[in-house]
């Protein structure tokens, strides 16, 4: 029996696996836990969205629709390989499926045919929706397939599972066809190979270094200074460095500058960067947050 990962542990696992992550505002508390239990968890389920467009697909999976409230998964995998986290807890993605399949996933064995719908899958599976029409014609970019591989491997590695713990919706619930366009056997082969390679995270007990002989290295990029740093009247070279990066990303909204004093132009430019990262509404208010800041990679000043 596996206890579900906390929001922090899920995010850390994805980042350690090399996944590019966008945290959709409110994802940490977006769940259907009031409708039934969440856990124990036993595997990862892959779907396709039957939609186009990242922003609209993410919004749909976060909110759901009139017949099926959100979240509709835990993460939405965009065509560019970005994983947008939209839920943390029980999600409406798996529905009822075959208890024989669940037992096979738990034992990490060969999957039997899914010919029954008698078991609650929303309780036991993490869900990732990949943006694709599912018509057999919509392409699957290599970066998107790599992101599916990495995201599934991240969850498996965090729980100590192997690739047999990853299934497609079509292997769980009779009548489902997703994901369509690649085979789950081929994806499991990729995940198995990845799980045989250590992540990029350092060992839990790194060798001790002599603080006298080893000077700490200056970070390559500016660490996130906190949202309160960005207020009217702030004057800092960090603001200039940030502005230059925003211009380089095509998000500059300056008539003069950028300069060292935080201004409305800086806020407008950063809001454009947040929208480029997939945020909208209050999530694109122009005040930097840690995730979008780390993605911007402001050079150390």
The stretch 198-216 carries a mean pLDDT of: 48
What are the boundaries of each domain within the chain? 7-195, 227-296
- pLDDT of residue 60 exceeding 90, the answer is yes
pLDDT at 263: 93
* Predicted confidence (pLDDT) per residue in 36-49, tens digit: 999 999 999 999 99
What sign does the dihedral 112-116-119-120 (CA atoms) show? Answer: positive
Buried b (16+ CB within 10 A) or exposed e, 272-286: bbbbbbbbeeebbeb
Domain 227-296 in this protein, CATH class: mainly alpha
Percent of the chain at pLDDT above 70?
A: 92
Contact 90, 7 (CB under 8 A): no
CATH 2.60.40.1180 corresponds to the domain 7-195 = no
Contact 66, 92 (CB under 8 A): no
- pLDDT of residue 291 exceeding 80, the answer is yes
* Predicted confidence (pLDDT) per residue in 105-160, tens digit: 999 999 999 999 999 999 999 999 999 999 999 999 999 999 999 999 999 999 99
């Amino acid at each position: 029996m596996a206890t579900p990962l906390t929001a922090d542990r899920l995010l850390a696992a994805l980042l350690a696996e090399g996944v590019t992550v966008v945290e959709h505002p409110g994802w940490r508390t977006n769940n259907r836990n009031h409708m039934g239990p969440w856990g124990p968890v036993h595997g990862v389920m892959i779907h396709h969205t039957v939609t186009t467009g990242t922003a609209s697909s993410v919004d749909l999976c976060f909110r759901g629709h009139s017949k099926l409230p959100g979240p509709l998964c835990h993460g939405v995998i965009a065509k560019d390989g970005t994983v947008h986290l939209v839920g943390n807890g029980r999600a409406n993605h798996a529905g009822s499926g075959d208890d024989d399949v669940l037992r096979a996933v738990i034992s990490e064995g060969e999957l039997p045919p899914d010919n029954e719908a008698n078991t609650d899958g929303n309780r036991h599976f993490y869900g990732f929706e990949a943006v694709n029409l599912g018509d057999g014609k919509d392409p699957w970019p290599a970066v998107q397939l790599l992101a599916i591989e990495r995201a599934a491997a991240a969850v498996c590695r965090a729980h100590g599972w192997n690739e047999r713990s990853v299934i497609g919706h079509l292997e769980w619930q009779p009548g489902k066809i997703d994901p369509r366009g690649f085979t789950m056997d081929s994806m499991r082969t990729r995940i198995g190979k990845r799980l045989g390679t250590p992540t990029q995270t350092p060992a839990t007990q790194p060798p001790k270094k002599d603080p006298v002989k080893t000077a700490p290295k200056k970070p390559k990029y500016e660490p996130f200074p906190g949202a309160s740093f960005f207020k009217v009247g702030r004057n800092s070279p960090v603001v200039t460095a940030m502005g230059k990066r925003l211009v380089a990303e095509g998000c500059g909204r300056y008539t003069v500058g950028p300069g060292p004093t935080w201004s409305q132009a800086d806020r407008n430019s950063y809001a454009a960067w947040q929208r480029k990262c997939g945020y909208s509404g209050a999530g694109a208010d122009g005040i930097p947050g840690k995730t979008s800041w780390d993605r911007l990679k402001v050079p150390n000043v």
